[in-house]
Structure 1
Amino acid sequence: MAGYRAEDEYDYLFKLVLIGDSGVGKSNLLSRFTKNEFNLESKSTIGVEFATRSLNIDGKVIKAQIWDTAGQESRFEIELNHLFHRYRAITSAYYRGAVGALLVYDVTRRPTFENALRWLKELRDHTDPNIVVMLIGNKSDLRHLISVSTEDGKDLAERESLYFMETSALEATNVDNAFTEVLAQIHQIVSRKAVELTDEAAASSIPSKGETINVKDDTSSWKRFGCCSS
């Protein structure tokens, strides 16, 4: 078939978003994961960009579409009303359809960690409550400059039911692990829901007797705190 490429074949397409303050290393995490590249002189992202990479997870080809945006465009830093309305439209488009997110802070700059809750609120305001979120403490290679301890990151992740890893885009530490873990968790949710739908369809074809009991899905089961730092 004309224009056919093997990488066009996949079982699932999952949209992930990168969020966090400007300069925390989101773009280098993206380029390290999708192209295995790192740019020491990378400039702040202007507007929105995305890249893709396909992985094999549990026998399925998962294509990740990862979106990156300029961290300084946070609505908390926009003061003028007309700019806010313009930004709100951009924000809605950015988050629309996202099933996973990596919330990134810089372990050497504590204010970027303190702003994580703002980003988390914005994310939750614009996405499905079941979205898989990984808290990322980036630049772990700068050990002599660290101002956010691993324990601080773990504690925040546990309080907010997030996954957690410390990464270094420069040294490629835990970058693949972080993205892969998010994609694996999303795939587990999708697979589980597919099984539930199949079971429900089968059950609906069988005449029931007596009282019907509806058991709600425990969405908290997949949001358990996990820590994979090194």
Structure 2
Amino acid sequence: MLVYDISKRQSFDSLARWVEELRANADNSIVIMLVGNKADLVDQRAVPTEDAVEFAKEQGLFFAETSALSGDNVDQAFFKLLEEIYGAMCKKSLESANGKSNGAEHLTALKGSKIDVIAGSDFETSEMKKLSTCSC
């Protein structure tokens, strides 16, 4: 996830460099999601949603706007990312099994693999903050 602050244009303007660095240093099957955070700061918006959607489309990224403060769309963003990562792993596993891999990567087939994600957890915000080192 690449997260920028919708109220700070500078954080958005850094995205191209961040995407480039990720692609240069990660596996080519990397799944990248662009997340505009602080969507609750409507009056302070410095990055129009349209700009972010266009950038995400150009770069082949998934996109969501969230508010960590209110929790709006946070779960959905993580679920979408998990779904796309799982899909990419399955595709990579199938390609490897069909001999389309370059031989450099060995991925165990995801036979019967299950990812349990607890939706609507009883975690309270205060408990989550204790676990986080986020400065927002």
Query: Which TM-score band (shorter chain)?
Result: 0.5 to 0.7
Residue of structure 1 equivalent to 2:77: 178
Runs of 4+ in 1 over 4 A off after TM superposition: none
TM-score by length of 1: 0.41
TM-score by length of 2: 0.68
Residue correspondences, number: 101
Residue of structure 1 equivalent to 2:32: 133
Distance, in Å, in 1 between the alignment partners of 2:58 and 2:78 is 21
Residue of structure 2 equivalent to 1:43: none
Residue of structure 2 equivalent to 1:149: 48
Distance, in Å, in 1 between the alignment partners of 2:63 and 2:86 is 18
Q: Are the structure 2 counterparts of residues 120 and 197 from structure 1 closer, same or farther at C-alpha, using a change threshold of 3 Å?
A: closer
* Structure 1, unpaired ranges of 5+: 1-101, 202-213, 215-230
Distance, in Å, in 1 between the alignment partners of 2:57 and 2:46 is 19
Q: Report the residue type matching 1:175 in the other structure.
A: V
CA shift at 1:129, angstroms?
1.9
CA shift at 1:111, angstroms?
0.7
Cα deviation, 1:81-100, whole Å, max 9, x if unaligned, reads xxxxxxxxxxxxxxxxxxxx
CA shift at 1:195, angstroms?
3.6
CA-based RMSD of the aligned residues comes to: 1.9
Residue of structure 2 equivalent to 1:193: 92
Distance, in Å, in 1 between the alignment partners of 2:47 and 2:8 is 7
Aligned-residue identity in percent? 42
Residue of structure 1 equivalent to 2:120: none
- Whether the 8 Å contact between 2:33 and 2:81 is mirrored in structure 1 is yes
CA shift at 1:196, angstroms?
4.1
Q: Are the structure 2 counterparts of residues 179 and 128 from structure 1 closer, same or farther at C-alpha, using a change threshold of 3 Å?
A: same
Q: Report the residue type matching 1:179 in the other structure.
A: F
* Structure 2, unpaired ranges of 5+: 101-136
Cα deviation, 1:85-134, whole Å, max 9, x if unaligned, reads xxxxxxxxxxxxxxxxx011100010110011111111112101220000
CA shift at 1:192, angstroms?
2.8
Q: Report the residue type matching 1:104 in the other structure.
A: V
Distance, in Å, in 1 between the alignment partners of 2:62 and 2:72 is 16
Distance, in Å, in 2 between the alignment partners of 1:196 and 1:119 is 28
Cα deviation, 1:128-172, whole Å, max 9, x if unaligned, reads 122000011100000000010110110000010100000000010
Cα deviation, 1:68-88, whole Å, max 9, x if unaligned, reads xxxxxxxxxxxxxxxxxxxxx
CA shift at 1:194, angstroms?
3.1
Between Structure 1 and Structure 2, the one with more strand by share is 1
Distance, in Å, in 1 between the alignment partners of 2:42 and 2:58 is 25
Residues 34-53 of structure 1 aligned to structure 2 (within 5 Å): none
